[in-house]
Amino acid sequence: MTRHSFLSVVNVIQSNRQARQLPVWLNGLYAELKAQFSDYEFVLVNNHCDQSAIDAVIAPLPEDLRKNIFLLNLSAPVGRDNALLAGLDRANGDYTVIFEFDFSGKPQLITHMWEESQKGADIVYLRARERRLPLANRLLYKGFYFIMQRWSGLRLDPLAHHTRIISRRALNSLLRLRENSRYLKANYALVGYNISHIPVEEPLYPDPEAKLSEQFRTSLVAITSFTTFLRTLLLWIFLFSVVIAGIAIYNAVKVKLTSIDIFGDHVTSSLTGWASLVVLMSVFFAITCLNLYIMSIYLSNIYSEIKNRPLYIIESVKRY
């Protein structure tokens, strides 16, 4: 049965390794889409990879497949979410599908997501059973999702794959959110609409092209953009500082009047308390530096927004 829907399939080519995976990915999806849907297109975003390598693997493909491919070449490398945005901006379909290379062997998942969307869901994503990460990455993700779920008010699924289908109306709403510091999974939740998922066996793996330091910076940007966590943290740091200062003042007055500190020690030497003073100064200096660092993150986000620079620049568009 042919489904009378126009599907735009979007993916980002981040490396030459992914460029080599294109024939399997395209052929599998082409066979599924041709059999199941009336209209379709492929929107590929070349995030500054070797275009000749991409051309070499696309050229031998059937003409009926190649004529449905649009290749967007970015002039400079950008973050994966911004590269995806370039593809989403170009998508013309009734439904837009972000389909990862990890699911090249299961093109039928597109049909399953479309069928799930017909039950009333505007966004349907694939949900993994587990996330396989090194210990450092696992701790970062657990802390990140705990903060996002606790302080953002958004329904975020820590086991969600990037692969999903998005209805036209949900995509139009998503594209109106033009923050420079983007975190697409939070934006999906921010636009609302009905969201559903399909469980899959494929686990979530770390992106081999992403470094832990980059993921940490991305986490900070998302936390400052979508949550009140750092503002709450600053409040608690302030209250803690007031308590410590109050204890220090009380101890100083007590020693002055009774020559006995709050620990019950008898103070006789004028040098007594010097170490405590140094510790207190160090603590308050560290707290001040932390506050300034947190404020600098917010100022950096504001600065990025008011500059209003483009999220990506397309150098050329190629049809095959």
Q: pLDDT tens, 194-223?
A: 899 999 988 888 776 667 677 777 777 777
Measure the CA–CA gap between 150 and 144, rounded to whole angstroms.
10
Min mean pLDDT across 49-63, 222-236, 300-314 is at: 300-314
Asked whether the beta carbons of 165 and 123 are under 8 A apart, the reply is: yes
Measure the CA–CA gap between 233 and 94, rounded to whole angstroms.
43
Give the residue carrying structure tokens 């080519």.
Answer: 13
Q: Give per-residue pLDDT as tens, 106-139.
A: 999 999 999 999 998 999 999 998 888 777 778 8
Q: Give per-residue pLDDT as tens, 144-173.
A: 888 888 887 788 888 999 999 999 999 999
Is 298 a residue whose pLDDT tops 90?
A: no
Q: Give helix 109-117 / helix 16-36 axis angle, nearest 10°.
A: 60
pTM: 0.76
3-class DSSP state of 106: coil
Strand partners of residue 12? 45
pLDDT value for 233 = 77
Measure the CA–CA gap between 36 and 50, rounded to whole angstroms.
33
Asked whether the beta carbons of 166 and 194 are under 8 A apart, the reply is: no
Asked whether the beta carbons of 140 and 212 are under 8 A apart, the reply is: yes
Give the residue carrying structure tokens 């036209």.
Answer: 168
Token reading at 25: 């990915």
